[in-house]
Structure 1
Amino acid sequence: MNLLDVTDLTVRSGDTPLVREVSFSLRAGERLGIIGESGSGKSVTSLAITGLLSRGLTASGSVRLDGHEVVGAAEKSLRPLRGPVAQIVFQEPLTALDPLMRVGRQVAEPLRRHLALRGDALRAAVTAAFAEVALEDPRLARAFPHELSGGQRQRVAIALALAARPRLLIADEPTTALDVTVQDGVLSLLERLVAERGMALLFISHDLAVVSRMTERIVVLRGGSVVEEGPVERVLRAPRHPYTSALVASARALDSALDAGGAS
């Protein structure tokens, strides 16, 4: 059984479709990328998968997460899936972090709720969670989000997402707001943690180079619809849809420009 099965998922805002009959699947331990321009439906799809669509958006079709139907499910039946089964890392960590709570307490909460840790065991688990994302200074756990750099906040958000040891990590543009050097560090961190834990990864981005680095298979969205899907190597070598061809050509042109700049 697949860990995730999305079948004919459609998401509407009123009468306007934002996502149109999107279908794909993800096996345990597999790494899948969703790529498309802004407004293509990438983030809406990720929110629909975990039942986190904002008010005013409605979903139809089917999303089965670890065998449980998400579309139309009651909130109380979805809460146990968020954390142990699937968790999201967002583009801007401030959307995931409580600005009024020290970050150590925020990471402690899912450890307490899902793993039933208390006392010394909880404190040790929080320390280990911070160390796992290369935040080893004990003072950082006592900081508020605004006291951390962007890269540190994103690492805390990753620690928070991984605290309940999810089987599926959904990374929604997790490095777009970071500078290039910090971005590479966060991507390397995600690569290592996904490999070490054997997690499935759903990586969402507008950047083809990043998606090709992080995933084995790609789903290309345009205007809310899937226009192409396939193994990364095949899509890069022989894209079948004009939109995908344009993405590949753009990525290659950027690489050539960067290489030329470095040579000069």
Structure 2
Amino acid sequence: MSILAIRDLVIRTAGGRTLVDRLSLSVGPGERLGLIGESGSGKSLTSLAALGLLPDGMSATGSVELAGTQVVGATEKQLTSVRGRQAAIVFQEPLTALDPLMRVGRQIAGPLARHRGLKGAALGRAVTDALTQVRLPDPERLARAFPHEISGGQRQRVALAMALACEPRLLIADEPTTALDVTVQSELLDLLDELVREREMALLFVSHDLAVVARTVERIVVLKDGRAVEEGTADEIVHAPRDPYTAALVASARQLEDALDRGRTP
């Protein structure tokens, strides 16, 4: 049984413009699925729809079943019981995803108290453990910091710690490394891969970067203008793309990789 099953998802604006058109995909237990496409392809909207987080002025029809709960048409109370425990999301820019007026530890403590009923010393230990698991040094000190007092890479690890704190079955990572430099990006991808495998979680990894997606997932869905144009294993997509749009993405990724390699050559 799939943890996330999307069937004929349509996302429209209030004015009737279709942004995602009859999209279907599924993520099974422990599976890692990549959702890739250029800006405006509908990939981030799809990840938001999976948790019932579409912005005001947008609506979804079709079916989005998350861990047995139908997200489309669900009440906020129903969704609150699913978010954090069954599925969690890490966004592209942690500085905007985190509350700038709240200390890091308190932000991680929120879902732990709500979903696991922790309080007092047990809650404090759980916060420290969550920061330690994402390889952050001196977690007690960092828990007392505000988001603006730590680096971008540290903020994204804090966001990851928050997402993983309640041990969800599905992690949605929406462009989680785009705002980071190349070295920090690579370190975070390695950490993400390690944690997902250790916990046997499912992963929906959303990105415009084919090279990043291919190193992270087993299967890829390619979106163009809100529609899935191709689906296959990571190896099939990278080495034998069938759709011209996918082939263009592969060629672009290879050109960028070649240019970076030339830049690194002494």
The residue aligned with 1:149 is: 151
The residue aligned with 2:118 is: 117
Counterpart Cα distance in 2 of 1:110 and 1:73: 20
User: Are 2:187 and 1:185 aligned?
Assistant: yes
Counterpart Cα distance in 2 of 1:144 and 1:260: 40
Give the deviation of 1:262 after TM superposition: 2.7
Give the deviation of 1:33 after TM superposition: 0.2
Q: 2:178 aligns with which of 176, 179, 185?
A: 176
Give the deviation of 1:149 after TM superposition: 0.7
1:226 partner amino acid = A
Q: Where in structure 2 are there 5+ consecutive unaligned residues?
A: none
Counterpart Cα distance in 1 of 2:158 and 2:263: 34
The residue aligned with 1:220 is: 222
Counterpart Cα distance in 1 of 2:165 and 2:109: 8
Counterpart Cα distance in 2 of 1:92 and 1:111: 22
TM-score w.r.t. length of structure 2:
0.97
CA contact (8 A) 2:95 2:152 kept: no
What SS does structure 2 have at the residue aligned with 1:71? coil
TM-score w.r.t. length of structure 1:
0.98
Counterpart Cα distance in 2 of 1:45 and 1:159: 23
The residue aligned with 1:202 is: 204
What SS does structure 2 have at the residue aligned with 1:100? coil
What SS does structure 2 have at the residue aligned with 1:60? strand
Counterpart Cα distance in 2 of 1:229 and 1:169: 20
2:6 partner amino acid = V
Counterpart Cα distance in 2 of 1:107 and 1:88: 14
Counterpart Cα distance in 2 of 1:188 and 1:37: 24
> What RMSD, in angstroms, separates the aligned Cα atoms of the two structures?
0.9
Give the deviation of 1:94 after TM superposition: 2.2
Give the deviation of 1:139 after TM superposition: 1.1
What SS does structure 2 have at the residue aligned with 1:37? coil
Counterpart Cα distance in 1 of 2:96 and 2:54: 14
The residue aligned with 1:44 is: 45
Counterpart Cα distance in 2 of 1:180 and 1:49: 29
Give the deviation of 1:136 after TM superposition: 2.6
Give the deviation of 1:253 after TM superposition: 1.5
User: Are 2:71 and 1:70 aligned?
Assistant: yes
Equivalences for residues 1-264 of structure 1 within 5 A: 1-14=1-14, 15-137=16-138, 138-264=140-266
Q: Can you list the C-alpha shifts for 1:20-58, whole angstroms capped at 9, x where unaligned? A: 000011101000000000010011000100001111100
Counterpart Cα distance in 2 of 1:260 and 1:118: 54
Counterpart Cα distance in 2 of 1:141 and 1:81: 26
1:126 partner amino acid = V
Give the deviation of 1:260 after TM superposition: 2.6
Counterpart Cα distance in 2 of 1:23 and 1:80: 24
What SS does structure 2 have at the residue aligned with 1:187? helix
Give the deviation of 1:13 after TM superposition: 0.6
Give the deviation of 1:258 after TM superposition: 2.2
Q: Where in structure 1 are there 5+ consecutive unaligned residues?
A: none
Give the deviation of 1:96 after TM superposition: 2.2
Give the deviation of 1:87 after TM superposition: 0.5
Counterpart Cα distance in 2 of 1:95 and 1:30: 29
Q: Can you list the C-alpha shifts for 1:81-112, whole angstroms capped at 9, x where unaligned? A: 00111010000112321111100011011111
